């Protein structure tokens, strides 16, 4: 296949953002994706994008359809002990979430990318990363080799590139599962609802005018088969309904148990390989942070590669530190939220979580601090 400057493995939000930015800057790249284009354009996952990330995509001409179509959310509700407690973070920060299904963003980024891409590749293998890197892979047309200056590992939590980085992995298991659901039903409220309940946590999140995402805390050993539609709706009503806020039912089009865990590699590069997004760090979807982190890494990595070709390696040299600053802030936030959402079998710890929640709802300063990290910002933490 010849030579390019950067081979990008994985066409998720991280790989696609990076590919677009590099191509726009005139840096040659080849994007390799294991799945078909149709598959990645329909795979539902995230939905909440922080405003700073949207503005960065807009700055690079990548947010046109998103800005036209995505509703904006600036508040959410806690529901507990039968009451609704609204939390207005746009008032505190001036920043909003844009609600845009991940597959729609992926579709936009694939459509915008004018560089080379191969879908349906197998057996991606990296070679000679310390000297003259090259990547081999297979697709329907046969076996291929591409030489390059750098490899970007954007192949997510189950990819192959992470194994090439000799990193220490810090991992945390929450010891719970979340049943992730998509219902063909309109949202039951304007914003997100976090239901804190003795039967377990539940959440409601709009996706589109006709599709709503729900989560139910469950045992990590549960499978989809343990959750009949009837059981799902019974639990959602029990955990989320309050007298003046009902839940609208509809056919369940996705039902899968997520094993809630986090991990972070202590280094995101090795020789001429740089990782971005979930290949380097995973944060359970408690605070809707993973895709935002993936975009953040890619913005920094694109800046680093572009600067390299202009003769400056300082951004690449500082890449791990610049990414992990934000990653650890978001991990800490997710842990904090998890304590509030899931409670604890230990009554003492449970009361501490309640005390935190009361402080959050009762103190403007506590609310400002929470809101700042809930919505994030572009400036590094």
Ligand X SMILES: Cc1cc2nc3c(=O)[nH]c(=O)nc-3n(C[C@H](O)[C@H](O)[C@H](O)COP(=O)(O)OP(=O)(O)OC[C@H]3O[C@@H](n4cnc5c(N)ncnc54)[C@H](O)[C@@H]3O)c2cc1C
Element (H, E) at 191: none
Alpha-carbon gap, residue 146 to 131, rounded angstroms: 14
Task: Count the site residues for ligand X by CB under 6 A.
Answer: 36
Closest contact distance (angstroms) between CB of 157 and ligand X is 6
- Kindly state whether residue 155 participates in binding ligand X, applying the rule CB under 6 A: yes
Residue 124 vs 273, nearer CB to ligand X: 124
Residue 203 vs 316, nearer CB to ligand X: 203
Closest contact distance (angstroms) between CB of 297 and ligand X is 8
CA distances from 11 to 144, 257, 262, 308 (A): 18, 24, 22, 23
Residue 81 vs 266, nearer CB to ligand X: 266
- Kindly state whether residue 217 participates in binding ligand X, applying the rule CB under 6 A: no
Stretch that binds ligand X, among 4-12, 127-135, 303-311, 328-336 (CB under 6 A): 4-12
CA distances from 371 to 9, 203, 362 (A): 34, 18, 14
- 294, 268 in Cβ contact below 8 A? no
In the block, tokens 């090795």 appear at 270
- Kindly state whether residue 316 participates in binding ligand X, applying the rule CB under 6 A: no
- Print the SS3 string covering 22-67: HHHCCCCEEEECCCCHHHHCCCCCCCEEEHHHHHHHHHCCCCHHHH
- Kindly state whether residue 57 participates in binding ligand X, applying the rule CB under 6 A: no
Stretch that binds ligand X, among 31-39, 168-176, 321-329, 344-352 (CB under 6 A): 31-39
Residue of 297, 321, 318 lying closest to 308 (CA atoms): 318
- 188, 267 in Cβ contact below 8 A? no
Q: First vs last Cα of the chain: how many Å apart?
A: 41
Among 4, 6, 7, 12, binds ligand X (CB under 6 A): 12
Closest contact distance (angstroms) between CB of 54 and ligand X is 12
- Kindly state whether residue 187 participates in binding ligand X, applying the rule CB under 6 A: no
In the block, tokens 């009902």 appear at 246
Stretch that binds ligand X, among 19-27, 43-51, 141-149, 334-342 (CB under 6 A): 43-51
Strand, coil or helix: 197: coil
Closest contact distance (angstroms) between CB of 262 and ligand X is 11
With both helix axes pointing from N to C terminus, report the angle between 102-112 and 13-24 in degrees, rounded to the nearest 10.
Answer: 30
Among 27, 29, 46, 247, binds ligand X (CB under 6 A): 46
- Kindly state whether residue 18 participates in binding ligand X, applying the rule CB under 6 A: no
Residue 138 vs 350, nearer CB to ligand X: 138
- In degrees and rounded to multiples of 5, residue 135 shows phi and psi of -125, 135
Length of the chain: 381
- Kindly state whether residue 177 participates in binding ligand X, applying the rule CB under 6 A: no
Alpha-carbon gap, residue 90 to 354, rounded angstroms: 24
- 200, 159 in Cβ contact below 8 A? no
**Interacting positions 74-133 with ligand X (CB under 6 A):** 102, 121, 124
DSSP 313: -
Among 288, 299, 302, 375, binds ligand X (CB under 6 A): 288
**Interacting positions 338-377 with ligand X (CB under 6 A):** none
Among 189, 294, 324, 337, binds ligand X (CB under 6 A): 294
Among 37, 45, 69, 84, binds ligand X (CB under 6 A): 45
Alpha-carbon gap, residue 203 to 218, rounded angstroms: 12
CA angle (44 as vertex; 42, 48 as ends), nearest 5 = 130
- Kindly state whether residue 51 participates in binding ligand X, applying the rule CB under 6 A: no
Among 290, 304, 343, 376, binds ligand X (CB under 6 A): 290
Alpha-carbon gap, residue 10 to 330, rounded angstroms: 23
List of residues contacting ligand X (CB under 6 A)? 9-15, 32-35, 40, 45-48, 102, 121, 124, 154-156, 158-160, 180, 258, 277-278, 285, 288-292, 294
């Amino acid at each position: 296949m010849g030579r390019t400057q950067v081979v990008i493995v994985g066409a998720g939000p991280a790989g696609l953002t990076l590919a677009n930015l590099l191509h726009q800057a005139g840096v040659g790249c080849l994007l390799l994706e294991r799945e078909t284009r149709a598959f990645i354009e329909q795979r539902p996952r995230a939905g909440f994008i922080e405003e700073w990330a949207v503005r960065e995509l807009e700055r690079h001409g990548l947010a046109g359809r998103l800005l036209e179509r995505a509703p904006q959310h600036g508040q959410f509700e806690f529901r507990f002990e039968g009451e609704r407690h609204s939390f207005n973070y746009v008032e505190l920060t001036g920043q909003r979430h844009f609600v845009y299904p991940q597959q729609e963003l992926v579709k936009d980024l694939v459509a915008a990318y004018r560089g080379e891409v191969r879908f349906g590749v197998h057996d991606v293998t990296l070679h000679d990363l310390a000297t003259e890197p090259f990547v081999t892979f297979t697709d329907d047309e046969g076996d291929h080799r591409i030489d390059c200056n750098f490899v970007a590992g954007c192949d997510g939590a189950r990819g192959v590139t992470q194994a090439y980085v000799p990193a220490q992995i810090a991992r945390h298991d929450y010891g719970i599962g979340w049943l992730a659901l998509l219902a063909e039903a309109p949202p039951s409220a304007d914003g997100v609802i976090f239901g804190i309940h003795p039967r377990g946590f539940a959440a409601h999140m709009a996706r589109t005018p006709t599709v709503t995402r729900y989560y139910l805390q469950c045992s990590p050993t549960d499978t989809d088969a343990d959750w009949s539609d009837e059981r799902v709706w019974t639990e959602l009503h029990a955990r989320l309904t309050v007298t003046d806020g009902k839940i609208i039912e509809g056919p369940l089009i996705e039902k899968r148990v997520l094993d809630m865990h986090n991990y972070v590699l202590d280094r995101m590069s090795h020789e001429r390989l740089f990782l971005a997004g979930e290949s380097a760090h995973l944060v359970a979807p408690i605070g809707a942070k993973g895709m935002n982190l993936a975009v953040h890494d890619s913005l920094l990595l694109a800046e680093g590669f572009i600067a390299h070709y202009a003769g400056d390696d300082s951004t690449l040299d500082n890449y791990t530190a610049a990414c992990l600053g934000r990653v650890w802030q978001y991990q800490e936030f997710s842990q904090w939220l998890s304590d509030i959402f899931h409670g604890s079998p230990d009554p003492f710890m449970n009361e501490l979580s309640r005390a935190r929640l009361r402080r959050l709802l009762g103190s403007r300063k506590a609310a400002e601090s929470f809101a700042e990290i809930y919505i994030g910002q572009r400036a590094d933490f």
